Amino acid sequence: MTRFVGNFSTQQLLPPWVSLRAKSWVFIIKVKRKCLQRYLNTHFNAAAPDQAPFHYEALNYTYGLMRVTQHPDFSSCHNNRPGTQTLSKIDIDWAYPCYRWRVSPENIRYDRKIVWVEPLSFDNNSYTMFSSREIWGTETNMAHIEVDESLTRGKLHIDMAIEGLKKFTPKSHSHLLGCLHIRVDTETQSTLMEQIEKDRDLAAFAGVLFASVGLQGQSLVTHDSELNTLKQFRDVFNMKVAVYRAIVQSRSDHENVSDIKIYDGSNVKLDFMWSQTMAESLHRLFGLRKKHAKTAERGHPGGTRSIDGHEVDWDLPCLNKDVVLAASFTSDIRYDVTGTLHTYGN
């Protein structure tokens, strides 16, 4: 076995991770099927150079989840030592379920299973950002995130900013750019039945979603919460080549789920801020286009705001994305790596 040399810069949070009393907000967004399939094709279905014995396929009900999770007590439980390297953080990710087929050497697909993928991920704690990237393979970016429930009574306000470039020109200077803004009217709640009666696809998606969350009294074994990530690292002198590339399998189990609240999508305003740094992601993952940015209103919908005391540039086109349904809940979450499904370059 090649021993990993632990040192100061790799004092990472080793899995499994445990988050106690995590507060989650989930926003269901409908996107085009090609947006879901494109990421699966480039990251999981492509030959690299060998083909993984799996095929990933987008579901027919083309929804995904924008998840915002506030972790007041997040730690490593490695070697059964709970509470190791405890920290607090907020993360935001875009995740959706898809079918994963096994593929035989004869190219026959069988054994279909629903798994989740996470093409976009942000974290406001650098330790977990490095650990996510270097252990799990999630391509997490550092962000400044603020979740404010006290700003206006009955309104939840979420802001996120990242270091980036407004426009790509040789003289552009990287700075803190607004990236995401969400506002929820939390006083007007809805019920799930009301919402899924309006949309049959949403009912199917809600079924997948609930299968991935362990409600109180449910056995953890029955959950379908598998997440697949592409773990890869670049070569030092050829940026197009990876020195390691593998599909990693993990799962997240929610326990003690409580305080569930459902909100109608019409009570949520979710805006992406268009910058050239984010443009490609917004186009490829959400189908937003530059032409939408040209006609969009500019600026932070609630005025200029700083995050964590850092000045943020919100003078950017603000592109609204409709939210179908939103929910919030509190839970304890355990994140486990369960295997490496395929290592490329055999």
Partner 1 sequence: MIQGPQNIPFAQSSDSQQVPPPYHFPDVTVNAFVWPANMKRVQAYCDQTFNLGSEEERGFVYRPAAMWPYATLLFLEYPIMISSNPLPQHFDEMPYSDRGIISQTEVFIAVPVIRYGTDPVTLITETTLEWALPFIVVGNPMSSVCGREMLGLGKLLADIKTREGRFPNSFHGTIKMPGWRSLEPGAQMDPKLKFVDVKTNPVLPTFRSSENQRRSLSTLFESREASWLIEEMGSLSNLVDDISLGMIPTTMRTVGLKQYRDAIDPTRAIYQSIVTCRAKYSNINTFRMYDEKDIDIEFNDVGSFNEILQVFLEVGDTPSGRKYPLTPVAGFQFKADIDYDQMRVIHSFAIDREGGLPPIPAQSDLVSSWARPWKGFFGPLTHPMRNVE
Give the burial class of 327: count Cβ atoms within 10 A of its Cβ; 0-12 exposed, 13-18 middle, 19 or more buried.
buried
Q: Is residue 284 a contact point for partner 1 (CB under 8 A)?
A: yes
Residues 107-136 binding partner 1 (CB under 8 A) are 119-120, 125-127, 129-130, 133-136
| Residue 52 DSSP symbol | P
Q: Are 263 and 7 in contact (CB under 8 A)?
A: no
Minimum CB distance to partner 1 smaller for 195 or for 228: 228
Shortest approach of partner 1 to residue 260 CB, angstroms?
28
By CB under 8 A, name the one of 37, 84, 218, 320 that touches partner 1.
Answer: 84
- Give the interface segment with partner 1, choosing from 86-94, 195-203, 204-212, 293-301 (CB under 8 A): 86-94
The two structure tokens encoding residue 128: 């977990």
Residues 165-184 binding partner 1 (CB under 8 A) are 165, 167-174
Q: Is residue 286 a contact point for partner 1 (CB under 8 A)?
A: no
Size of the site for partner 1 (CB under 8 A): 88
Q: Is residue 309 a contact point for partner 1 (CB under 8 A)?
A: no
Q: Is residue 36 a contact point for partner 1 (CB under 8 A)?
A: no
Judged by DSSP in three states, 291 sits in: helix
Q: Is residue 139 a contact point for partner 1 (CB under 8 A)?
A: yes
Shortest approach of partner 1 to residue 294 CB, angstroms?
19
Closest CA to 13 of 66, 88, 72: 88
Q: Are 40 and 285 in contact (CB under 8 A)?
A: no
Residues 51-80 binding partner 1 (CB under 8 A) are 75, 78
Shortest approach of partner 1 to residue 340 CB, angstroms?
6
By CB under 8 A, name the one of 25, 30, 68, 137 that touches partner 1.
Answer: 137
Closest CA to 112 of 226, 234, 209: 226
Q: Are 181 and 273 in contact (CB under 8 A)?
A: yes
Q: Is residue 269 a contact point for partner 1 (CB under 8 A)?
A: no
Q: Are 307 and 144 in contact (CB under 8 A)?
A: yes
Q: Are 157 and 183 in contact (CB under 8 A)?
A: yes
Residue keyed to tokens 């021993």: 3
Give the span between the Cα atoms of 194 and 129, in whole angstroms: 38
- Give the interface segment with partner 1, choosing from 206-214, 253-261, 274-282, 292-300 (CB under 8 A): 274-282
Q: Is residue 85 a contact point for partner 1 (CB under 8 A)?
A: yes
Closest CA to 61 of 86, 33, 89: 33
By CB under 8 A, name the one of 1, 108, 193, 221 that touches partner 1.
Answer: 1
Minimum CB distance to partner 1 smaller for 82 or for 154: 82
Shortest approach of partner 1 to residue 160 CB, angstroms?
13
Closest CA to 328 of 223, 252, 266, 257: 257
Shortest approach of partner 1 to residue 75 CB, angstroms?
8
